[in-house]
Structure 1
Amino acid sequence: MHAAAVRVPCSTSNLGAGFDCIGLALERWLDARYLPDDGPLRIERGGTLRSIQADTDDDILVHAFRAGLRARGVETATGLIHATSDIPIARGLGSSGAATVAGLVLAAAALGQALDREAELQRAYELEHHPDNAAPSLYGGLVAVARGDDMLRPLSLPLADELTFVFAAPDVEVSTRRAREALPDQVPHAVAARGLGRVAALVQGFASGDPVLLRIGFEDELHVPYRLPLIPLAQEAMDAGREAGAFAVTISGSGSGLIAVTARDRSHAVAEAMARAFGSGVAFTSDADRRGVVSLDQ
């Protein structure tokens, strides 16, 4: 094994009607570097990762790194992983998905193997079960994931160049487990049918930049009504974003963050308005990351 380094973008998923199947890569990243030595495998964390208290064996990135090695016939790992990130943790930006992708791709790079995005997507799904986060982190841009024949089919979707995004979150975590538990076991047939029409509007809205279609596509009855009460001041922040010029606002992933789509000339006003509504936390503007995971120069 030899030294290797990768950069993985974060992702916002669901995007309203695209529940559990559509995600978008944004310009916040996790950088992971592997340095071989004879010591036990260990990890050093920087940036937002410093808040993680997990032991090495319980670390998501390390777990994925070991899985990536085992998939290639390597059972024992030594050396140092240094990982740093500016992705907010447990705020709905796919931080665990980015860590999973980073570990898998770093393992391949450390063994000198070429990146196989489709294979890594399957492995990421087996480890983390959130392909709508892993796929945009791997491929970049706007990605839908279709499931069939026991395989995941990533579909890169067109995204209008003029669209940009605003992320805002309070100083409150919402765990994926808690957000899942808030969902009902069943929904009426009519609700599901309305959701299908909104998905079509969402995809076309992203492709064309049409604000009306984006607003329709960001509407949702499957998850947003049940998760919004878990996020303090979320409705106020959504309203503030729309009033400041956002085309549409919804929950990012399972929360606690919100994601807004807007025109570039309104993005900073939208970020400031949503940040004021939350009172504390984090808010930033971002274009889509259109590259996905990349290797870094040594």
Structure 2
Amino acid sequence: MDKSIKLKVPATTANVGSGFDVMGIALNLYNFIEIKESNKTTINFDKNIKVSSGKNNLIYKSIERIFNEQNLKTPDFEINVSINIPTSRGLGSSSSAIIGGLVAANYFCGQKFSKNEILNFANDIEGHPDNVAPCLLGGIVSSVVENKKVFSCNINTDLDLSFVVIIPEFELPTSESRKVLPKTINFSDAIFNMSRLSFLINGFYKNDLKMIEIGLKDRLHEQYRGKLIKGFDEIKNIALENGAIGSVLSGAGPTILAVCRNNPDEIGNFMKNKWIELGVKSDYKILKIDYEGIKII
């Protein structure tokens, strides 16, 4: 067994407006995970974050999954993580841990499992594929679960888009954000999202900004989750008023993402200043699509 590995793992934004629990995009913001065999399992972070540093950590649990699939005892590892993806902010921090652990363990075991098998293990752990798929595959990804199996396809675009992610200082765990979603939805809301998702996908394929603008609208989750985020509508609107193609909740939030063709820094500043007016501290990053997904470095 190879003794060590270092991984570059991208952040992801899920849902992307109308693509609730379906669409995700890998972004060029990375965690770096170094794993090496040891006589005792330790997990070290370069920042003070609220996650387990023992064998209940998602990275280690994901490593275990690969060894369990082969009826092998999971060895002890020293795991060192350089954190750039903020936790509980809607940028795929849990998916980066899951994919990182699975890919590392698969490497240690001689690449026994295909990318598709890794994706299905990740979906089992995460419960939905919209973040784990782009984290693994890179790019813009649409996913579906059919007969308990995940199928994903990449959506290519030649557009040079910028993604302004404005990250508030407060966390919003996905479990809390899920609780506010209704158990049933109106037919009109389902049709609204279905029709716009078709435009979003075609907009990326055809490099059509108007189609993307239409496709970034949602009626399935943002109206409910937005109530948990102070100034949600104001931040979205200020981005649109200053030239963003669209503005959406990133994943389960609380990060808000603006899709831009021009002036991303100006749009980010407007969003940040609006949140300051409302008493919320935040910071923004200007990101691009990561087309590689997780990478061994």
Give the match for residue 101 of structure 2. Answer: 103
TM-score normalised according to structure 1 size = 0.93
SS of residue matched to 2:85 = coil
Corresponding residue of 1:287: 288
The Cα of 1:231 is off from its aligned counterpart by 0.7
Superposed, 1:157-236 pairs within 5 Å as 157-236=155-234
Aligned position for 1:11: 12
1:21 aligns with 2:19: no
Q: CA deviation at 1:20?
A: 0.2
Query: Which one-letter code corresponds to 1:6 in the other structure?
Result: L
Is the contact made by 2:159 and 2:204 (CA closer than 8 Å) also made in structure 1?
A: no
Per the alignment, residue 69 of structure 1 pairs with 67
TM-score by length of 2: 0.94
Map Cα deviations across residues 107-150 of structure 1 (whole Å, 9 max, x no partner).
11223326721111100011111210000000000000012132
Aligned to 2:125: 127
Q: Which residue of 2 aligns with 1:268?
A: 265
Q: Which residues of structure 1 form unaligned runs of 5+?
A: none
CA shift for structure 1 position 178: 1.2
Q: In structure 2, list runs of 5 or more residues that go unmatched.
A: none
The aligned residue for residue 82 of structure 2 is: 84
SS of the residue corresponding to residue 64 of structure 2 reads helix
**Conserved in 2, the CA contact under 8 Å of 1:141 and 1:159?**
no
Aligned to 1:41: 41
CA drift at 1:244: 2.1
* In structure 2, C-alpha distance between the alignment counterparts of 1:74 and 1:294, rounded to whole Å: 25
Q: Give the Cα separation in 2 of the matches to 1:6 and 1:70.
A: 22
Q: Deviations over 1:218-254 (max 9, x none)?
A: 1111101011111111211111211221100010000
Question: Are the aligned partners of 2:43 and 2:53 in contact in 1 as well (CA < 8 Å)?
Answer: no
Q: Is the 8 A contact 1:90 1:175 kept in 2?
A: yes
Provide, for residues 192-221 of structure 1, a one-character-per-residue CA deviation record: whole Å limited to 9, x for no partner. Answer: 112110111111222233332222111111
% identity of equivalent residues = 27
Q: For the residues of structure 2 that align with 1:116 and 1:271, how far apart are their CA atoms?
A: 39
